[in-house]
Chains A and B, each alone.
Chain A
Amino acid sequence: MQIFPKTLNILPLALAFVTFVAGGAVTGIVWFYFSPKNFQVGYAPEQPVAYSHRLHAGQLGMDCRYCHANVESSAEAMVPPTQTCMGCHTLVKAQSPRLQVVRDSWASGEPIEWVRVHKLPDHAYFNHAAHLNAGVGCASCHGRIDQMEVVAISQPLGMGWCLDCHRNPGPHLRPRDQITNMAWEQTASEEAVQALAANVHPPENCSGCHR
């Protein structure tokens, strides 16, 4: 007594085919979407103060290090204290309502609660000073901040992405005096690039970044 009509003889073949296609699809989806590239890039939270990097770094052409002062000497890029803002804004736009939060903070001594945008997992010990001194530009990891009204993540910031550069730093290096230059383009010849990379030895072992 059969429950399968003869027509079903195609079934195994069909099944095999479906498994193959579906399996491939799932893998592909996971591979692409469950990746930092997809999760990280584009994260642009709203900040308590509508601070515009495009205005300050872009139009006004302020150097990154005016606010992120210790970035060359510390692992942290250092979000500037209210003090720094007030340095100018006691004179410039001293009454602007958009700066109310800043003035309050200055008055009360309460910190401004900025929302962290670029965040590596806590077990990844990224060191700004080390990278800047090796000649990695701000833009290499943060993108064209000078064109961002609201700061957003522009690079995956995943381990694979880090390793790409650590394994072949040359193309991502620039002269020390250009690190904060957002618009800088790699124009040097292959030799020059390799020369830059000559005395840069990024770690590729675990403890280089994980301690």
Chain B
Amino acid sequence: MSKREKYSFAAAPATAKKFWKSLEAKENPAAFAKAAEPEFPMGVGTVEDAASVSRRGFLTVATATAAAIGLEGCVRRPVEQILPYAQAPEYLNPGVPMHYATSVERRGEALGLLVTTHEGRPTKIEGNPEHPASLGSTDLLAQAMVLDLYDPDRSNAPKQGEAKKTFADVDALMASIVRTHSADAGAGLRILATPSISPSFLRLRAAVQQRFPQAKFYTWTPVNESNAREGARLAFGEPVVAHHDYQGAKIILSIDSDFLQTESGSIRSARRFADGRRLSQATDSMSRLYVVESTHSTTGANADHRLALAPSKITAYLRALAKELATAHRIELGPLGAALQGASNAGLPTKWISNVAKELVGARGRSVIVAGSRQPAAVHALVHALNAALGNHGATIVFSSVADTTETDQTASITAFAAGLEGAKTAIILGGNPVFDAPADLDLATKLARVETSLHFSGTHDETCHATKWHVPRAHELESWGDLRALDGTVTIQQPLIAPLFGGRTDLEVLAQLAGERNWRGYYVVRQTLRGAAGVQNGFESEWRRVLHRGFVAGSAEPPRPGVIDMSRVATALGRSEPAVDGFEAVFLACAKMLDGRHANNAWLLELPDPLTRITWDNVALLSPKTASELGVRNGDMIRVTRDGTSIELPAWKLPGQPDKAVGLLMGWGRKHAGRYGNDVGFDVYPLRRSDALHSAAVQVAKLAGSYPISQTQDHDSMEGRPIAIDGTLEEFKADPTFAIHRSPTPRTLPLWREVEYRGHKWGLVIDLGACTGCNTCVIACQSENNIPTVGKAMVAKGREMHWIRIDRYFVGEDANEPEVAFQPLACQQCEEAPCENVCPVEATAHSPEGLNDMAYNRCIGTRYCANNCPYKARRFNYFNWHTKNEADEEVPPTRQMQFNPNVTVRMRGVMEKCTYCVQRIETARTATKIAGRPMRDGDINVACAQACPSNAITFGDLNDAASRVSRQNQVSRHYKLLADIGAQPRTTFLAKVRNPNPEMSA
């Protein structure tokens, strides 16, 4: 077999118990190193699972045996080996994947997950249907997380400076730290962590605090909830979390909140929001969404009415609205009313004030006003006040307490940390990447350098590690024991799917060591916390097993409560308000893909098109078309954004709907030490982000000479008046519930060939454009399920991206500055009269009796005729061997192969590929049910995109089963077939989007 060097896999913790044993055995290094060797010397290098037939890399062997064409699989070269376990792990049935419940933290929310493992390799992440926060779906980042696990650039050893160390050294170091600070009671000990929602973390922090009374804890994460917390403190006297019922609300007003994508708890929000708008017949009603925002967000793209305002004007708008409510509509604001007298409508569209106010009052107790995390505390407070006055509290909005009540304002905290570093002996940084993403004015790097002992626990050897004395690998979330508290209080368990591939400690373990716990391994820590929390002493083991199985502690959610608001405190808070800026303002945006930069080395996310700009592999400065033309910049022209002295240079991009004079800057790009994919990709905007103004700031913008090449997956924004992503207003829908099919009628043409009669199953997919928020989660879900490669920026520019499902984004409407947006997820439509099938000279794509366009990769010779003849251009061609070497001849790392789904062929160069409705899942379920001796039921199979979709926009199932969800969706009056007039009889159905505009707004 090949000469590729073996990797070393750390042995599993000695502590592991039942759910862990399998992996412990699994991690038998030798076995795995063998397992990691590729089958074929010429090196598509596929991981040969112990004791399982390898299903992958076939196509490469085909090249090798090109001499003996057509005989691949017949001549036995090279000799292949089977490596059974020496000692078989419990429960493990080679060839049958297992699913474990775990969870991951996302912006203060705990997402319950179900992870699929093949012989111990986590390959696919799904949502845990029973978990309140994920509801069976995941977000974009959770889908991509599995690739981070196999990131080839993860650090594989502790380092002191650049010198490699062992974990023994780390333990010694920890011990010495404990010794030193036992002396000074921790006076010189500073610990910076990311804000935690883990009960164990809080418990251990208290313990450490107790042991070192003088030690100081700080928290920082660049995209945080501080403003919301402070706002709540102002309004209620305590930091509480608001839960909005987007389903029940009739009128939703978003004040710069991207609650559908980047805000905390977005999955649940998206699901509920969509649920409030699913129209099946004319009598149904739907909510109306007003969005006032300082950029063009995913939420804005789903708004019925959208107002783009420069960040500094948003407060003014809310005040004006409040005043209108108080004066014109006499809602009870108490002392607040007086504070609002100063508010003026200057520079604000009056219809947006009068109409919105009228609507809100009209929907008392059935409306929601939500403020985004970028908005200052005062705005959050005012929003709470208005919601209270409108009677929404307790109706559409309820509250629960936060995980960490002691958590202070992040900016204050990190500033204090930076200041406190003077005279600190030891600085321990748990996760995060503060040197890269902390406010630039704090200059952490130099301050850290002065500290005697500084450690950074992190997954990769990132910017912060270069500033600290020590770097210790931090276990990936899929490798860690932990517990998380969901927003609603549900205690969720995080259990490892695999032993840390390259070793690594978790935050809990570090704290446990500091706290001097004897059993400091995560496993014991979590059990101990749970034992305390769950309050079950007797029968704990069985409870523990139940919890691990379910993934969370049932019934641990805290009963939600209405808030008791204090108007006067809000009033005083409103007193201090920022003056409006005229001139340019920068808005610092949480990137839907990078979030704050933590995913910067994730090729899937890098290549994922931005929901609105469709840009891949880069971030840009978002400008409104008007502003751009004033500056005289075209797309891609370089501009300089300056904030007193400091300046960054990056390409400008016209985003219809971006507020004038507001420069949207996406955070998390331009990393220096992210890894092979993320280094120097995009442009770092953090230098402009200061502790005084974290979310938006006045800047100067200047056009520079020269421009920068940008790779987009879609460069044409208009639908050219074609009936593609069909949408209509509620009026149109009520007038004619079948308006969509009238715009895209199916012709009565005779079929070319004898029509197939689908006796057994008839797989179908229905996509509800009304529910689709355009968040792109399905794209990554498909990518991780179907072994879809990434191709790199240059190839995307050439139009060779490989995504099987893509989301087409069209701008609708006349005004380029106030566009409506139409999203359309598009994968292979599985046409019944498929144009692709008849033109393939070798019958590599043929029709299955269940109506799928089967794609036999191993038969495909790559004439690309099918792609030409596909009206939807849903087919993707492997122009190169993406899975072995990319176009730049960089080897694809072997760790990447560990993520591959063994049930899907890895396609080689020269082969056409496309969506198959996850046929591997269909066949697996078919066999399983056959063996179980029962027919396949609705829900036995779900395709990856549908499973991941947060808003349940995609439904898959058997159209021959009248009771199935997909059949019912297929009957919804909004349904239509895309490009039906071609007569290809697509199997996938779309449900037209219905907008709910307020007639008075246009009046």
User: Is there a chain A Cβ closer than 8 Å to B855's Cβ?
Assistant: yes
Q: Which residue of A lies closest to B843 (CB)?
A: A206
The answer to whether residues A109 and B931 also contact, given A73-B93, A79-B82, A211-B920 and a CB cut-off of 8 A, is: no
User: Is there a chain B Cβ closer than 8 Å to A139's Cβ?
Assistant: no
The answer to whether residues A116 and B81 also contact, given A122-B57, A207-B852, A207-B916 and a CB cut-off of 8 A, is: yes
- Residue from the set A74, A130, A207 with the largest chain B CB neighbour count within 10 Å: A207
User: Is there a chain A Cβ closer than 8 Å to B76's Cβ?
Assistant: yes
- Contact between chains at B84 and A111 (CB < 8 Å): yes
- Contact between chains at B905 and A129 (CB < 8 Å): no
Which residues of B sit under 8 angstroms from A130, Cβ to Cβ?
Answer: 927, 930-931
Interface size on A, residues (CB 8 A): 51
- Contact between chains at B86 and A109 (CB < 8 Å): yes
Which residues of B sit under 8 angstroms from A75, Cβ to Cβ?
Answer: 53, 95-96, 927
- Contact between chains at A114 and B84 (CB < 8 Å): yes
User: Is there a chain B Cβ closer than 8 Å to A190's Cβ?
Assistant: no
- Residue from the set B39, B72, B904, B930 with the largest chain A CB neighbour count within 10 Å: B930
- Contact between chains at A211 and B86 (CB < 8 Å): no
The answer to whether residues A211 and B919 also contact, given A110-B31, A206-B846 and a CB cut-off of 8 A, is: yes
User: Is there a chain B Cβ closer than 8 Å to A184's Cβ?
Assistant: no
- Contact between chains at B86 and A119 (CB < 8 Å): no
User: Is there a chain B Cβ closer than 8 Å to A112's Cβ?
Assistant: yes
- Contact between chains at A81 and B84 (CB < 8 Å): yes
Taking a contact as CB atoms closer than 8 A, the residue among B28, B31, B80, B923 that contacts A207 in the complex is B923
Mask, B770-804, CB within 8 Å of A = 1, is 00000000000000000000000000000000000
Taking a contact as CB atoms closer than 8 A, the residue among B51, B52, B903 that contacts A211 in the complex is B903
Q: In the complex, what distance in Å separates the CA atom of A163 from the CA atom of B849?
A: 16
The answer to whether residues A76 and B76 also contact, given A83-B85, A205-B846, A210-B857 and a CB cut-off of 8 A, is: no
Which residues of A sit under 8 angstroms from B852, Cβ to Cβ?
Answer: 207
Interface of A is mostly: loop
User: Is there a chain B Cβ closer than 8 Å to A105's Cβ?
Assistant: yes
Which residues of A sit under 8 angstroms from B245, Cβ to Cβ?
Answer: none
Minimum CB–CB distance for B576 against chain A, Å = 62
User: Is there a chain A Cβ closer than 8 Å to B71's Cβ?
Assistant: yes
Which residues of A sit under 8 angstroms from B848, Cβ to Cβ?
Answer: 205-208
Minimum CB–CB distance for A26 against chain B, Å = 16
User: Is there a chain A Cβ closer than 8 Å to B14's Cβ?
Assistant: no
Mask, A72-109, CB within 8 Å of B = 1, is 11111011111110000000000000000000011011
The answer to whether residues A83 and B930 also contact, given A39-B75, A123-B858, A206-B859 and a CB cut-off of 8 A, is: no
Give chain B interface residues in 51-100, CB to chain A under 8 Å. 51-59, 61, 68, 70-76, 79-88, 93-96
Taking a contact as CB atoms closer than 8 A, the residue among A39, A113, A211 that contacts B904 in the complex is A211
User: Is there a chain A Cβ closer than 8 Å to B693's Cβ?
Assistant: no
Which residues of A sit under 8 angstroms from B68, Cβ to Cβ?
Answer: 34
User: Is there a chain B Cβ closer than 8 Å to A45's Cβ?
Assistant: yes
Which residues of A sit under 8 angstroms from B61, Cβ to Cβ?
Answer: 121-122
Q: In the complex, what distance in Å separates the CA atom of A205 from the CA atom of B922?
A: 14
Interface of B is mostly: loop
Q: Which residue of B lies closest to A105 (CB)?
A: B86
Which residues of A sit under 8 angstroms from B920, Cβ to Cβ?
Answer: 125, 211
The answer to whether residues A111 and B905 also contact, given A78-B95, A210-B856 and a CB cut-off of 8 A, is: no
Which residues of B sit under 8 angstroms from A40, Cβ to Cβ?
Answer: 74
- Contact between chains at A111 and B923 (CB < 8 Å): no
User: Is there a chain B Cβ closer than 8 Å to A147's Cβ?
Assistant: no
Minimum CB–CB distance for A163 against chain B, Å = 14
User: Is there a chain A Cβ closer than 8 Å to B30's Cβ?
Assistant: yes
The answer to whether residues A125 and B923 also contact, given A70-B95, A82-B84, A111-B31 and a CB cut-off of 8 A, is: yes
User: Is there a chain B Cβ closer than 8 Å to A124's Cβ?
Assistant: yes
Which residues of A sit under 8 angstroms from B846, Cβ to Cβ?
Answer: 205-206
Q: Which residue of B lies closest to A211 (CB)?
A: B920
Q: In the complex, what distance in Å separates the CA atom of A206 from the CA atom of B884?
A: 26
Which residues of A sit under 8 angstroms from B72, Cβ to Cβ?
Answer: 121
User: Is there a chain B Cβ closer than 8 Å to A120's Cβ?
Assistant: yes
User: Is there a chain A Cβ closer than 8 Å to B854's Cβ?
Assistant: yes
Which residues of B sit under 8 angstroms from A112, Cβ to Cβ?
Answer: 83-84, 86
- Residue from the set A72, A123, A205 with the largest chain B CB neighbour count within 10 Å: A123
User: Is there a chain B Cβ closer than 8 Å to A143's Cβ?
Assistant: no
Q: Which residue of B lies closest to A158 (CB)?
A: B74
The answer to whether residues A36 and B74 also contact, given A119-B53, A123-B58, A125-B923 and a CB cut-off of 8 A, is: yes
User: Is there a chain B Cβ closer than 8 Å to A127's Cβ?
Assistant: yes
User: Is there a chain B Cβ closer than 8 Å to A183's Cβ?
Assistant: no
User: Is there a chain A Cβ closer than 8 Å to B50's Cβ?
Assistant: yes
B interface residue count range (under 10 / 10 to 19 / 20 to 34 / 35 or more): 35 or more
Which residues of B sit under 8 angstroms from A105, Cβ to Cβ?
Answer: 86
- Contact between chains at A208 and B74 (CB < 8 Å): no
Q: In the complex, what distance in Å separates the CA atom of A66 from the CA atom of B28?
A: 24
Q: Which residue of A lies closest to B928 (CB)?
A: A129
User: Is there a chain A Cβ closer than 8 Å to B896's Cβ?
Assistant: no
Q: In the complex, what distance in Å separates the CA atom of A124 from the CA atom of B56?
A: 10
- Contact between chains at B86 and A78 (CB < 8 Å): no
Taking a contact as CB atoms closer than 8 A, the residue among A106, A113, A119 that contacts B76 in the complex is A119
Q: In the complex, what distance in Å separates the CA atom of A125 from the CA atom of B855?
A: 14
Which residues of B sit under 8 angstroms from A133, Cβ to Cβ?
Answer: 930-931
User: Is there a chain A Cβ closer than 8 Å to B531's Cβ?
Assistant: no
- Contact between chains at A76 and B923 (CB < 8 Å): no
Taking a contact as CB atoms closer than 8 A, the residue among B28, B58, B81, B905 that contacts A115 in the complex is B81
Q: In the complex, what distance in Å separates the CA atom of A30 from the CA atom of B847?
A: 31
Which residues of B sit under 8 angstroms from A125, Cβ to Cβ?
Answer: 55, 903, 920, 923
Q: Which residue of B lies closest to A120 (CB)?
A: B73
User: Is there a chain B Cβ closer than 8 Å to A32's Cβ?
Assistant: no
The answer to whether residues A78 and B80 also contact, given A121-B858, A158-B74, A210-B857 and a CB cut-off of 8 A, is: no
Minimum CB–CB distance for B884 against chain A, Å = 15
- Contact between chains at B51 and A110 (CB < 8 Å): no
The answer to whether residues A115 and B79 also contact, given A133-B931, A206-B848, A207-B916 and a CB cut-off of 8 A, is: yes
User: Is there a chain A Cβ closer than 8 Å to B34's Cβ?
Assistant: yes
Q: Which residue of A lies closest to B919 (CB)?
A: A207
User: Is there a chain B Cβ closer than 8 Å to A43's Cβ?
Assistant: yes
Q: In the complex, what distance in Å separates the CA atom of A203 from the CA atom of B857?
A: 17
Which residues of A sit under 8 angstroms from B930, Cβ to Cβ?
Answer: 130, 133-134
Mask, A198-209, CB within 8 Å of B = 1, is 000000011110
Q: Which residue of B lies closest to A73 (CB)?
A: B93
- Contact between chains at A83 and B94 (CB < 8 Å): no
The answer to whether residues A110 and B931 also contact, given A205-B849, A210-B856 and a CB cut-off of 8 A, is: no
Q: In the complex, what distance in Å separates the CA atom of A40 from the CA atom of B39?
A: 19
- Contact between chains at A122 and B905 (CB < 8 Å): yes
Taking a contact as CB atoms closer than 8 A, the residue among B30, B54, B854, B927 that contacts A111 in the complex is B30
- Contact between chains at A116 and B93 (CB < 8 Å): no
The answer to whether residues A127 and B927 also contact, given A80-B84, A82-B84, A82-B85 and a CB cut-off of 8 A, is: yes
- Contact between chains at A121 and B34 (CB < 8 Å): no
Give chain B interface residues in 932-991, CB to chain A under 8 Å. none
- Contact between chains at A74 and B854 (CB < 8 Å): no
Which residues of A sit under 8 angstroms from B79, Cβ to Cβ?
Answer: 45, 115-116
The answer to whether residues A74 and B903 also contact, given A123-B58, A208-B923 and a CB cut-off of 8 A, is: no
Taking a contact as CB atoms closer than 8 A, the residue among B30, B74, B93, B847 that contacts A70 in the complex is B93
Q: In the complex, what distance in Å separates the CA atom of A165 from the CA atom of B810?
A: 51
Which residues of A sit under 8 angstroms from B82, Cβ to Cβ?
Answer: 79, 113-116
Give chain A interface residues in 129-150, CB to chain B under 8 Å. 129-130, 133-134
- Contact between chains at B81 and A83 (CB < 8 Å): no
Q: Which residue of A lies closest to B49 (CB)?
A: A76
Known: A120-B53, A123-B58, A206-B854. 16 other contacts (CB 8 A): A35-B74, A45-B79, A73-B96, A73-B931, A75-B96, A81-B51, A81-B84, A109-B31, A111-B28, A111-B85, A115-B79, A129-B931, A205-B849, A205-B854, A206-B846, A208-B848
A-B contact pairs, 18 of them (CB 8 A): A34-B71, A76-B51, A79-B82, A79-B84, A83-B87, A105-B86, A112-B86, A113-B34, A113-B81, A116-B53, A121-B58, A122-B61, A122-B73, A125-B920, A206-B848, A207-B855, A207-B916, A211-B920
7 A-B pairs with the lowest CB-CB distances in the bound complex, closest first: A121-B73, A122-B58, A76-B95, A206-B854, A39-B74, A74-B95, A81-B88
